[in-house]
């Protein structure tokens, strides 16, 4: 397979010199893991009998936004880590013969194309996380399907609207350093305990200390007073397969779960890890208020709905 060096497209970053033939070129990232076995307790009772990943943002399930972002970033294979009660996700990315036959017989070509495009979108594999033992445990469950190659992790709850897809921004940094990269964003101190947090040193590129950091340490959901910074990990990662060894080696951490953040902290002992403060807007669609904000903003941006929806909102006595 031909490998090529991709120029880093981040503002203020210069492409690294071309590696010599003796240096290892970064391998192409072809797979993305979507952990989707969580119980969705933040969204009860809606998630009692349906996966939170299937809650619709306007007219697409949350997980589809993440899958589309992965496709736009050049990923060809999706691995969804599911659990009990998540079969609607598998059905969503599968063919729906009855529905397609019905739409065809009624001549509903536009709807048929929409329905077919979902199942034709991408290669999807599934693996099961039998117990909810944490994000790190979910990622470890995907190790056989990932194999010995770099891969992305996408947390579907984090819906990110960006000109350059967030995952693509991370992949550019990965290509540059040939090392794992996490998405981060600044959050107010009082909210920091909801996140993994990095202690990181900005890396200067072309004089700009802008968006890329080298990580010194990571901590999962610290108390505000203990947080090493206000840079929170957001649900996009580009990882290398050595993370699986680290995840297998660590003990349960915060919430008695195997935390991906702890696995990364373990991996940091043996290799550099980077963070990218991505450009774009992130919505926490796994939270009721975040979900509402995303719904309103996405609907306002739609060509077919934006106009009348804006008029409706203007008419509300707020």
Among 37, 135, 179, 181, binds ligand G1P (CB under 6 A): 135
If the CB atoms of residues 67 and 103 are measured against ligand G1P, the closer one turns out to be: 67
CA 137 from chain centre, in angstroms, equals 16
What does the alpha-carbon distance between residue 152 and residue 29 come to, in Å, rounded to a whole number? 7
The window from 56-64, 145-153, 162-170, 228-236 that contacts ligand G1P (CB under 6 A) reads 228-236
Let me know: does 249 contact 123? Beta carbons within 8 Å. no
Among 51, 235, 253, 263, binds ligand G1P (CB under 6 A): 235
Residue positions counted in the chain:
318
Using DSSP, state whether 232 is helix, strand or coil: strand
- Over the window 26 to 55, marking each residue x when it contacts ligand G1P by CB under 6 A and - when it does not, the resulting string is ------------------------------
Instruction: Find where tokens 């970033």 sit.
Output: 73
Let me know: does 83 contact 132? Beta carbons within 8 Å. yes
The two tokens of residue 249 are 């080696």
Instruction: Find where tokens 């065809």 sit.
Output: 104
- 225 DSSP 8-state letter: G
Among 175, 220, 244, 291, binds ligand G1P (CB under 6 A): 220
Interface with ligand G1P, residue 82, by CB under 6 A? no
Helix residue ranges, H only, 147-207 = 166-177
The window from 43-51, 55-63, 231-239, 296-304 that contacts ligand G1P (CB under 6 A) reads 231-239
What does the alpha-carbon distance between residue 29 and residue 151 come to, in Å, rounded to a whole number? 5
Interface with ligand G1P, residue 158, by CB under 6 A? yes
- Minimal distance in Å, beta carbon 296 to ligand G1P? 20
Contacts of 261 (CB under 8 A, 6+ apart): 136, 196, 218, 219, 220, 233, 253
Taking CB atoms, the residue at the shortest distance from ligand G1P is 196
Interface with ligand G1P, residue 243, by CB under 6 A? no
- Minimal distance in Å, beta carbon 119 to ligand G1P? 28
What does the alpha-carbon distance between residue 293 and residue 193 come to, in Å, rounded to a whole number? 21
Among 34, 43, 176, 195, binds ligand G1P (CB under 6 A): 195
The window from 74-82, 105-113, 139-147, 254-262 that contacts ligand G1P (CB under 6 A) reads 254-262
If the CB atoms of residues 125 and 254 are measured against ligand G1P, the closer one turns out to be: 254
How many angstroms separate the first and last alpha carbons of the chain? 59
Let me know: does 232 contact 213? Beta carbons within 8 Å. no
- Minimal distance in Å, beta carbon 107 to ligand G1P? 43
Interface with ligand G1P, residue 261, by CB under 6 A? yes
**Residues binding ligand G1P (CB under 6 A):** 135, 155, 158, 195-196, 220, 232-235, 259-261
């Amino acid at each position: 397979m031909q490998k090529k060096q991709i120029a880093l497209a981040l503002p203020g970053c210069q492409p690294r010199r071309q590696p010599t033939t003796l240096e290892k070129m970064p391998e192409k990232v072809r797979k993305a893991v979507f952990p989707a076995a969580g119980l969705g307790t933040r969204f009860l009772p809606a998630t009692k009998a349906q996966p939170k990943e299937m809650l619709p943002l306007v007219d697409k399930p949350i997980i589809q936004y993440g899958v589309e972002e992965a496709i736009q970033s050049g990923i060809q294979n999706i691995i969804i880590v599911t659990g009990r009660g998540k079969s609607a996700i598998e059905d969503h990315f599968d063919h729906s013969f009855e529905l397609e036959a019905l739409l065809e017989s009624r001549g509903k070509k536009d709807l048929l194309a929409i329905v077919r495009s979902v199942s034709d979108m991408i290669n999807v594999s599934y693996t099961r996380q039998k117990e909810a033992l944490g994000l790190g445990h979910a990622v470890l469950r995907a190790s056989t399907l990932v194999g010995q190659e770099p891969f992305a992790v996408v947390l579907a709850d984090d819906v990110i609207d960006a000109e350059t897809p967030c995952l693509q921004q991370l992949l550019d940094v990965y290509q540059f350093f040939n090392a794992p990269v996490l998405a981060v964003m600044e959050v107010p101190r009082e909210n920091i305990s909801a996140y993994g947090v990095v202690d990181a040193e900005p890396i200067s590129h072309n004089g700009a200390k802008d968006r890329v950091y080298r990580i010194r340490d990571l901590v999962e959901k610290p108390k505000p007073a203990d947080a090493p910074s206000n840079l929170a990990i957001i649900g996009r990662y580009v990882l290398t397969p050595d993370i699986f060894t680290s995840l297998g080696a660590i003990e349960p951490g915060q919430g008695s779960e195997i935390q991906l953040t702890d696995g990364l902290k373990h991996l940091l002992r043996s290799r550099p890890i980077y963070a990218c403060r991505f450009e774009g807007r992130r919505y926490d669609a796994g939270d009721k208020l975040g979900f509402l904000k995303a719904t309103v903003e996405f609907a306002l941006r739609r060509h077919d709905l934006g106009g009348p929806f804006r008029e409706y909102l203007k008419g509300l006595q707020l």
